[in-house]
Amino acid sequence: MNARRGRPRDPDTDARILRVAGEQLLERGYTAFTVDHVAEIAGVAKTTLYRRWPTRDHLAIAVIGRGQEEIEIADTGDLRADLIDFMAQIAAGLNRTRRAGRGANDQDDQSAGLVAELVAAAARHADIGTLVRDLFDKRIALAVARIEAARRRGEVRSDSDPHLLVDQLAGALYYRILITGKPIDRRYATHLVDAAFAGVLPR
Amino acid sequence: MNARRGRPRDPDTDARILRVAGEQLLERGYTAFTVDHVAEIAGVAKTTLYRRWPTRDHLAIAVIGRGQEEIEIADTGDLRADLIDFMAQIAAGLNRTRRAGRGANDQDDQSAGLVAELVAAAARHADIGTLVRDLFDKRIALAVARIEAARRRGEVRSDSDPHLLVDQLAGALYYRILITGKPIDRRYATHLVDAAFAGVLPR
């Protein structure tokens, strides 16, 4: 995402910086999140951080990117169960990110919080936008591969469009977090997958 | 959204300010959009604007809210056609808003642009969040009423959930604008509605 100059990256240092940055982001939220403060707590020179992540937007997105890589799509041979689990993981991640920096006493359960700030960061910086879209492309490709395998098994119809199905499922979760402020959880994920599978036309 | 003090609002002045603000927002984008500049062009005292819209976030959301009210959901008695038309209108509005302030030479066709800034504004200010969610609640209620009417006509199954269907449809559009950067238009809206109607299960 930014040019790599000088000494090669030290993966251990990167991992420590991103761990500290993640903790700070969750504890303090975006308003109080600064590259300088993360450098201080991680015990690393500020220049080291700025060389890798030129703004706090870049650093925050790197943290979220690492979190995304940890989400796995199960492959049990039952597409419905695998997609419910995948959507429930996305919902849990969005709920955690949404509440970053807000104490237990903060009762607002509708604001998109940090999720919205990250979406704005991706819209504001072309390089972050590219990075985020690449992350999502990779994750969506995994989900599409699962759906295609299920299509070969006859679990879903041969004329169904895997990319459209992902748009409908993941889209509903992001829409509720970012736009309508409605809650998302495993129960909602289950209803969502069942509704998208069944459609609404009379049988 | 903010306390109304002093003289009652003049609807003509409000309309003029919002029209000027909308033009400025589309021409100049969010970085250059200021309450002061809108006051100057509209020929209205700055204090008049700040009393009604305390920040540029508030003013921008008021512009968008007015635009939302202009979107109508057709009622032709054919739910599929009405929903395709509704989704195509949402897509057109999102595409226009996304490109606000960017010249014809700006070839970036993936950034969410102003849409993302407005979503962040709603997450940042509790009063804007409430206002935006109320707007969406009203619009969603209209779409749900159409789906319920179609359910009574037997166009869609009695066990289908109108709110879930709206989440799947509108969600997919916002997901593509805000997250994946994929294009949305009437053709996509048609595929989307057809896919959500048919589901993916073998018949």
Per residue in B109-168, pLDDT (tens digit) is: 899 999 999 999 999 889 999 989 998 999 999 999 999 999 999 999 999 999 999 999
What span, in angstroms and rounded, lies between the C-alpha atoms of B86 and B97? Answer: 17
CB contact under 8 A, A192 and B167: yes
CB contact under 8 A, B174 and A172: no
Hey, is the C-beta of B195 within 8 angstroms of any chain A C-beta? yes
ipTM: 0.90
In chain A, which residue's Cα lies nearest the Cα of B182?
A: A133
pLDDT at A21 over 90: yes
Q: Could you tell me what percentage of chain B is helix, strand and coil, using 3-state DSSP and rounding each to the nearest 5?
A: 70, 0, 30
Confidence category of residue A100, pLDDT binned at 50, 70, 90: confident
Q: Which of residues 75-114 of B touch A (CB under 8 A)?
A: 108, 110-113
Model confidence pLDDT, tens digit, residues A53-70: 999 999 999 998 887 777
Q: Which of residues 117-176 of B touch A (CB under 8 A)?
A: 117, 119-120, 122-124, 126, 129, 132-133, 136-137, 140, 154-157, 160-161, 164-165, 167-176
Share of chain A above pLDDT 90, in %: 70
pLDDT at A171 over 70: yes
DSSP state of B177: I
**DSSP state letters, A94-128:** HHHHHTTT--TT----S--HHHHHHHHHHHH-HHH
Q: What is the pLDDT of residue A106?
A: 76
Q: Which of residues 23-62 of B touch A (CB under 8 A)?
A: none
pLDDT at A140 over 90: yes
Q: What is the pLDDT of residue B6?
A: 53
Residues of chain B with pLDDT under 50: 1-4
Distance from CA of A173 to the nearest CA of B (A): 7
User: What number is the average pLDDT over the span A119-146?
Assistant: 92
Mean pLDDT score of chain A: 90
pLDDT at A3 over 60: no
3-state SS of B28-90 is HCCCCCCHHHHHHHHCCCHHHHHHHCCCHHHHHHHHHHHHHHCCCCCCCCCHHHHHHHHHHHH
Share of chain A above pLDDT 70, in %: 96
Q: What is the pLDDT of residue B18?
A: 94
3-class SS at B168? Answer: helix
3-class SS at A44? Answer: coil
